[in-house]
Amino acid sequence: MNNAHHEIIIAGMGGQGVMVIGQLLAHAAVLEDKNVVWFPAYGPETRGGTADCTVIISTSEIGSPVSSSPDTLIALNQLLLDRFAPTVKREGLILVNTSLAAPPRDRSDCKIVEIPANDVANKVGNSKAANMVMLGAYVELVKPVRLDSIKASMTEVLPERYHHLIPVNCLALERGAELVS
């Protein structure tokens, strides 16, 4: 995979932390002096609606903030996996949260990585950290940024009221990375 340019779509339900892991990726890219664009799409609902964000990380200047066909899809649930799996570029990467979704059967050209993210998150002690498990696995697999940069971005990206959860989030990130290494 070209390591100078990454186009990622992260998708799930509102409340699953889709936007947050996209922002962590974006912030980590800034820490590493890379160009980055993060762009969200969601309905008016705070929870229960669908949510997705596009992150483009590049060593050169970024034109379109919109991706025709992402290199990677990180899907946190079945509905959004089904919606976005067809858009992933040929021989791209699809990370599936298998706690909540069955891997796609019609994208045999892609590398499909199954992560039981909610189960792993439950084991580290916080079911809400499933998003971090997925992010840890993605960063370990593709290395668009370093895992350290993601960790260093937590205080900046997470609202202060969630800062006490940073240790468990970091643990979930590491577990995700270990699953695929």
Applying CB under 8 A, does 66 fall inside the site for another protein? yes
3 state SS of 58: strand
Distance CA 115, CA 4 (A): 25
CA distance 14 to 47: 5
Tell me the closest approach of the beta carbon of residue 53 to another protein, in angstroms.
9
Q: Side chain identity at 114, as an amino acid letter?
A: E
Footprint on residues 24-43 left by another protein (CB under 8 A): 26-27, 30-31, 33-41
Shortest distance in whole angstroms from residue 130 CB to another protein:
23
Find the part of the chain contacting another protein (CB under 8 A) among 59-67, 90-98, 102-110, 124-132. 59-67
Q: What is the CA radius of gyration of the chain?
A: 15
Residue reference for tokens 């060593």: 59
Q: Figure out which of the listed residues 15, 48, 49, 65 binds another protein, where binding follows CB under 8 A.
A: 65
Residues 17, 104, 127: CA angle, nearest 5 degrees: 30
Q: Which of residues 105-164 bind another protein (CB under 8 A)?
A: 156
Which residues would be at the binding site for another protein (CB under 8 A)? Answer: 23, 26-27, 30-31, 33-41, 44, 63-69, 156
